[in-house]
A and B are shown apart, each in its own frame.
Chain A
Amino acid sequence: MNPTSSTVHSRLDLDPDTIAACRAAASDIADDVDRFVRERTTVAVERTITRFLGVDDADEDGTPLPNRLVDTLVDAGRLGDGITTPLVNAMRSLDRSAADVARAVTAGEVDLFTLPELPAHDIRDTAERLTNDAIATIRQTRNTRAERIARSTTHPDPLLYVIVATGNIYEDAVQARTAAIQGADIIAVIRSTGQSLIDYVPYGPTTEGFGGTYATQANFRIVREALDDVGEQLGRYIMLCNYCSGLCMPEIAAMGALERLDMMLNDALYGVLFRDINMQRTLIDQYFSRMINGLAGVILNTGEDNYLTTDDAVEATHTVLTSQFINEQLAFRCGVPPEQLGLGHAMEMDPTLENGFLLELAQAQLVREVFPHHRLKYMPPTRYMTGNILRGLAQDTLFNIIGAWTRQGVQLLGMHTEAMHTPHIADRHIALENAQVVMNNLRDIGDEVVFRPGGLIQKRAQDTLARTAELLEDIRRDGLFDALGRGTFAGVRRLPNAGRGLAGVASRSPDYYNPLETALRRALHLDG
């Protein structure tokens, strides 16, 4: 797939052949990952299947039943076979639902691996019927969103995105509603710090979190209902965003598909680099989670913006573009179309840098032109936010100017209180007002003002693109795992057998059975 349209004139005078070469290299890199992933599964992938089959709930210690079930699979040394066959076998043998089987297994009343084995075709009939029900549910949720958006009023891009992060889901819902009233289009509920490293999804509504609120299915539902309610009053569909990243990528994607989240952070590379999650584990998890996002119509967001919080924001912009090319191809292989691809990038240069605005503008326009149909997510200054809220507001204003000028898809609004506290209710108001003033005043500036041919902005963008092409060739030669081992991205080095979660990976046995993946592939028009 090559979404670059030759009819679009490049304001940066970019060489289309270089862009095509970048895509070709990234495509090979993604194929490499694709081959690796298809031969493996993980505990998180198998837990996701149990959720779609109807397993929910947690035991008295708070351990979710999907974990309890898949733990028995791991204990039996049979993770490589997948959970579907033993689970459906138990459902058929005992004539009980998946949820009942899970409770019985948890109570020690049933052992999945000592029950008589029914004929394979019996199991497959039932498994495929349940899987088709799950696919139908995802499709129905997607249709509900489409109907609501069709009734909704819109405004020109970028969409305005703000976060809530109180730690208490009910307080989050209050702040989400006020943000929507103030003009936000997208509300992201930030997760409690540390959730990405726990190998289960907490259960039920939560009111205690640090720097954010736990992602649970009940919490998703609470904020979804609040936003639907306020959206009806406003005549606008308010999007809800949460995070798939971490050790539970596909499970959270499943919860998002069921509870009609509209946007989800979904980036294995982010987990590898910034959370030290094992790269094998998370790339396998990502694959399944992106297929679910893809079918659910969820816009996925990638986290390349973060590279510039640790690496040099002037020197390392080509690593952002490189990673975006790779992430695009990885997403295409999961059936995610460009319109659902929120590739991330950021304005993170030192605000005292002379002509820094011009360099940032060049980068934002470069990403816009390379990914013309994508719902790009532009991230605000964080690294040089200081507690001087008035200078911070100036930085955020410059950021908003670039977002308007280069027509980003999503503008994650900067908070002048960044680096101080999670946003106060009035911080979002100030940020939204700032964005509305800037964006309205500059609406068509990108069409009216051209960049000087051969000037600083054009040259900067062309140079970054050329460096990106070189780096992609290197990674094509050595592979993505090697690139991560060298510290190519974010200046962080990670090794294939290090990091969290590797124990939850298994090679697929000849008996591996995952009808959900097969159904997702069919629904997404992916090859077998």
Chain B
Amino acid sequence: MTIHGRTGATPPDLTSVRPYGDTLDDGIMQLSFSLPVPFGDEAREAARRLLLAMGLEDPQIYHAADLGDGYTFVIVYARTRATIDFTSIEVAKVAAPQRSKKEIEALVAERVGRDIVVLGACTGTDAHTVGIDAIMNMKGFDGDKGLEAYRGVAAWNLGAQVPNEELVARAIELDADVLLVSQIVTQKDVHKVNLTELVELLEAEGLRERLLIAAGGPRIGHELALELGFDAGFGPGTRAVQVASWMVDELIARGLVERTPHGRRSS
């Protein structure tokens, strides 16, 4: 990897990277946090010692504010001496080529030859549909059309607060190829419980290997999704076109294009 924009300046050592404040390797970081202690000199000192205990150096408490009732807020800058070997980093990512909507539609027509059935839902008690709407709905987000707008994709947005059982029932009823699950609320890891439950239900129904499942949301990454037994995870800023490209590739790669109904409809 080449580093641009440092003509004449010393290049960073990518095996030993440190935060950059206003000069290479100064290690300066900004932090802010609150402490459950009364505002005052002791609170400042407590914040300073906390940073030292974290291994940070030269902590500067630039701002402290009284939050009332024995709570204090601080804004701090400090230095770290820790370094990271950037050259050794590998991150799990959804591997699908960048394609346009047209290219994806052409690929579906050529290789799939039928509509791909996609169900989207916010499952459990989650009521925040902004993410799933952006991926599923005709309008999409910021000029990027949602899956409803794709030729060769039958997209069903089941909306908010869909119980996992209902999602599975609809997947059977509609012969779904792909389930997209959005999870925004992550307090107390409720999203992990919820996503795991879906995988278990699909396994119990014998459907897990017959369709693709992907999770999305601000706290969802590909690696977490894989850990939970999903096929892919999509984080914040994901576009419908990325999801579409992935699912077409994956359906073809797994030989899920030829299909038999999931059960209920044929029985």
Asked whether A422 is an interface residue with its Cβ less than 8 Å from the other chain, the reply is yes
Interface string of B106-147 (1 = CB under 8 A from A): 000000000000000000111101100100010100100000
- Are A274's CB and B160's CB within 8 A? yes
Check A310 against B73 for contact (C-beta < 8 Å). no
Could you tell me the dominant secondary structure of chain A's interface residues? loop
Closest 3 CB pairs of A and B: A181-B68, A194-B125, A426-B73
Residues of the A chain whose Cβ atoms lie less than 8 Å from the Cβ of B161: 194, 197, 275-276
- The chain A residue sitting closest to B162, CB to CB, is A276
A309 contacts B130, C-beta separation under 8 Å: yes
Q: Which residues of B contact A419 (CB under 8 A)?
A: 218
Question: What CA separation (Å) do A383 and B125 show in the bound complex?
Answer: 20
Inter-subunit contact B69/A174 (CB<8 Å): yes
A230 to B218, CA, bound (A): 36
Q: Is B224 positioned at the interface, with any CB of A under 8 Å from its CB? A: no
Residues of B within 8 A of A491 (CB): 137, 139
Determine whether the beta carbon of B130 is less than 8 Å from that of A193: no
CB distance from B75 to the nearest CB of A (A): 9
**Contact A193-B185, Cβ < 8 Å, known A274-B160, A276-B160, A429-B67:** yes
Set B33, B159, B160, B236: member contacting A386, Cβ < 8 A: B236
Number of residue pairs across A and B with beta carbons under 8 Å?
73
Are B71 and A178 in contact, with the CB atoms below 8 A?
Answer: yes
How far is it, in angstroms, between the C-alpha of A387 and the C-alpha of B218 when the chains are bound?
Answer: 9
A181 near B218 (CB under 8 angstroms)?
Answer: no
Q: How far is the CA of A67 from the CA of B65 in the complex (A)?
A: 48
Q: How far is the CB of B163 from chain A (nearest CB, A)?
A: 10
Q: Which residues of A contact B188 (CB under 8 A)?
A: 167, 210
Closest Cβ neighbor of A166 among chain B residues: B187
Tell me the count of chain A residues lying within 8 A, CB to CB, of chain B: 34
User: How would residues 308 to 343 of chain A score, 1 for a CB under 8 Å from any chain B CB and 0 otherwise?
Assistant: 011010000000000000000000000000000000
Min CB–CB distance A16 → chain B (angstroms): 35
Q: Is the CB of B68 within 8 A of A210?
A: no
**28 A-B contacts (beta carbon < 8 Å):** A178-B67, A178-B69, A181-B68, A181-B69, A182-B68, A193-B127, A193-B185, A194-B124, A194-B125, A194-B161, A196-B127, A197-B161, A210-B125, A210-B188, A211-B185, A211-B187, A275-B127, A276-B160, A276-B161, A312-B139, A350-B142, A386-B236, A419-B218, A425-B73, A426-B34, A429-B65, A429-B73, A491-B139
Closest to A178 in B: B68
> For the complex, is A437 an interface residue (Cβ under 8 Å from B)?
no
How distant is the Cα of A418 from the Cα of B188 in the complex, in angstroms?
18
Q: Does B190 contact A (CB under 8 A)?
A: yes
- 11 additional contacts (CB under 8 A) given A178-B69, A210-B185, A429-B73: A167-B188, A180-B68, A181-B68, A194-B127, A196-B127, A274-B129, A275-B127, A276-B159, A310-B130, A426-B67, A491-B139
- Is residue A118 within 8 Å, beta carbon to beta carbon, of the partner chain? no
Whether B129 pairs with A310 at a CB distance below 8 angstroms is yes
C-alpha spacing A230/B32, complex, angstroms: 26
Per-residue CB proximity of B64-88 to A under 8 Å, as 1/0?
0101110101000000000000000
Task: Report the Cα distance A320→B46, complex, angstroms.
Answer: 49
Q: Which residues of A contact B32 (CB under 8 A)?
A: 426
Docked pose: A421 CA to B189 CA in angstroms? 12
Tell me the nearest residue of chain B to A430, going by C-beta.
B73
Interface membership of A424, Cβ < 8 A? yes
Note all chain B residues with C-beta closer than 8 A to A421: 187
